[in-house]
Amino acid sequence: MRVAFLGLGIMGRSMAANLVKAGHEVSVWNRTSGKDKEVEGARTASSPADAAKGVEAVWMCVSDTKAAESVLFGPNGVSDSLAEGMIIADSSTISPAATLRFAERVKAKGVAYVDAPMTGSKIAAAAGSLIFMVGGNDAALARLQPLFQAMGKQVFHMGETGKGQATKLAMNLQIAMIFEGFAEALTLASKLGVDIEKMLPLIQASMVRSGVVEYKAPFILQRDFSPNFPLRLMLKDIRLALDAAKESRVRLPGLEAVEEVYDVAAEEGQGDLDYAATLMLLEKWAGVEVKAAAKAS
C-alpha cells in the first residue's frame, strides 16, 4: 500500500521501518528532521501534507492531542491532502473526545478515521509484535489489515472510532498502578532488609505475578532507567484518564494518588527517563536503594 507515516519517535520509527520491510511504499515525516533518515527505503517528505499526497493511508504516532491536531490540521497539515477513500490511522495515545472531533472534521471529505493506539513498548515496536486496540468501521479496518500485520501481532477491534483511545486509557491506568504497587513493595521490602533477588521469583510464583513485573524487574536490577516508555508520556496518559473520568463522573482515587508521584518525579527532571524511574522518587523518600543483596553495600 501507499502509506504516509508521521512521527518518528521511539515507537514511530520502528513502525515505519516495519512497513517498509513488508514491502509497502512509505513516505515519512517528522517535526524535527534527522530522524527521517533512520527509516531506510522510505521517502522523506517536507510536511505532513507532502507525505500524505496520493497515499491510501496516513498513519500517525506523535506525542499527544496537541501534536496530533497540529499534524492533521496545522499549516501544511494532512488536511491539505485529504482525498476520498483515504484512511487516517492514529497510534498516538490522545483524548478520545478529540479523536471524535478529528474524525468528524475529515468525514466530509470521505476520509475514514481509525484510532489505533497500541500496547507493547519499544522492543515490541522493533520486533513488529505490537498489540493494537482499535476503534473504527469494519471496512476501514479490513483495508488496514496488511499494515497492522506488518507492525503488530494482534488487533483488538473495540468498536467505533474513539473506543480504541478509551480502551488505551483504561489499559495504561492499570500499567501505571500495577507498577506503582510493585515499586512501593520493593521500596518497603528493601527498607525492611529483604533480599530483592529472592523476592522477585516469589512474586512471579504467586498470584501477584504480572507481565509488568516480568518486563520491568531486569531493568530495575540493572538500574537502567533509559526510556522504553518515557515517564512524561505515562503522566500524559494518567492525566487523559483522569480528564475522561471527570467528564464521565467516575472517581479514580488510586490513579489520583499515582498522578502525584509522577508529577513530582517529572518536576524533579525525570520526565525523559522511563516511567520505572518513579521508583527512584520512592527510594529517595524512603532513604533506601532497591538493589540485589550481592550488590548492596
Using the rule CB under 6 A, is 55 a contact of ligand NA7? no
Using the rule CB under 6 A, is 164 a contact of ligand NA7? no
Cβ within 8 Å of residue 132, ≥6 positions away? 91, 116, 117, 118, 148, 151, 152, 154, 155, 156, 164
Using the rule CB under 6 A, is 63 a contact of ligand NA7? yes
For ligand NA7, the closer CB: 122 or 157 = 122
Contact string 228-267 vs ligand NA7 (x = CB under 6 A)? -----x---x------------------------------
- Give the number of residues in contact with ligand NA7, rule: CB under 6 A: 22
Using the rule CB under 6 A, is 44 a contact of ligand NA7? no
Contact string 14-33 vs ligand NA7 (x = CB under 6 A)? ----------------xxx-
Only one residue has cell 521501518, namely: 17
* Active-site residue flag, 168: yes
The least distance separating ligand NA7 from the CB of residue 32, rounded to whole angstroms, comes to 3
Stretch that binds ligand NA7, among 3-11, 108-116, 177-185, 273-281 (CB under 6 A): 3-11
Catalytic positions are: 168
